[in-house]
Amino acid sequence: MINREDTRDFAGKNNFVWWVGVIEDRKDPLKLGRAKVRCVGWHSENKMELPSEDLPWATPLLPLNNSNPYPAKEGDMVFGFFMDGESAQDPVIVGVFPNIPLVSGDPEKAFNDPRKGDDLTSAPVKPGESATVYPRKLDEPTTSRLARNDTDYPSQINTSKANKKESKVEPDSYYSAKYPYNNVYESESGHALEFDDTPGKERIHIYHRAGSYIEIGPDGSRAERIEKDKFTVVIGNDSVYVKGDVTVFIDGNATMQIGGNFNATIGGTCDITSGGNMTFKAPRIDWNP
């Protein structure tokens, strides 16, 4: 027979002991996604008595369909329970509370993002942001601006008109999200992934913080912008079918090197206009007008 006194700190045998706390460190040496959490009512508010580094590591409870979810950050308020009951040495993080921060973080105080110095300056930041402690935006929800479609949403939604005019073919973004239908993953440095289910405005958007993106609009149209160079390697065969027209603008030079035969069949008129010299070099040229 099991002695209840011997199992009072065994999860499932004791009372469910839950807690609310604030993450103060997430640099898990085991790289398991753990974080140090200061739990309200369980841990001292005096950092001289209990420094951040002495807090126990809390293990995240991961969903079965996503083994690497977006991790909570320093300063985030989280909820969880203790696996070892009132011994309170084996915390588990169940989830993060979204909120509207009203006060800037203070690294000297408990229940705040404690990072400073190199830990802070080496942390990722979005373009245009400063490497400050979290929260970095006050008086607004911690939900992604892309999901909320606020008037001050990030600049990745539309590149500048000057850039679009220069590109000659780049369309305006299909973005017209309505909360809560835009499912957004947004990283700390500014990368974004959107699966927008807004009725009539359904879209997929993949964005890199440098400004490159791929966007698929409601009718299946796709827009792509690459801020620097593009490289494509095909080891096998490559086939392209275009039912409509094709327009190509090249502001620089164009070079094509073909190791085998080149065959071109034109069903209509062929117009070639050159503002410079044209050179054809071949052992034999057959011309059949």
Q: Is the pLDDT of residue 83 over 60?
A: yes
- State the average pLDDT for the chain: 86
Count of other CB atoms within 10 angstroms of residue 118: 8
Looking at per-residue pLDDT, the higher value among 84 and 91 belongs to 91
pTM: 0.80
pLDDT at residue 236, rounded to an integer: 96
Task: Enumerate residues 6+ apart whose C-beta is below 8 A from 17.
Answer: 81, 82, 85, 86, 88
pLDDT at residue 237, rounded to an integer: 96
Q: Is the pLDDT of residue 1 over 50?
A: no
Looking at per-residue pLDDT, the higher value among 179 and 10 belongs to 179
Domain with CATH 3.10.450.190 in the chain: 145-225
pLDDT at residue 10, rounded to an integer: 59
Calculate mean pLDDT across residues 47-73. Answer: 82
Task: Count the helix, strand and coil residues of the chain and give each as a percent rounded to the nearest 5.
Answer: 10, 20, 70
Q: Is the bond preceding residue 63 a cis peptide, omega within 30 degrees?
A: no
Fold of the CATH domain 145-225: Nuclear Transport Factor 2; Chain: A, (3.10.450)
Calculate mean pLDDT across residues 234-262. Answer: 92
Domain with CATH 2.40.50.260 in the chain: 4-121
- Residues 204-220 pLDDT 10s: 999 999 989 999 999 99
Q: Is the pLDDT of residue 62 over 90?
A: no
Calculate mean pLDDT across residues 125-145. Answer: 88
Q: Are 60 and 67 in contact (CB under 8 A)?
A: no
CATH value of 4-121 in 3.40.190.10, 2.40.50.260, 1.10.3720.10, 3.30.1600.10: 2.40.50.260
**Distance from C-alpha of 76 to C-alpha of 96, rounded to nearest angstrom:** 7
Instruction: Work out the pLDDT band at 150, boundaries 50, 70, 90.
Output: confident
**Distance from C-alpha of 135 to C-alpha of 102, rounded to nearest angstrom:** 9
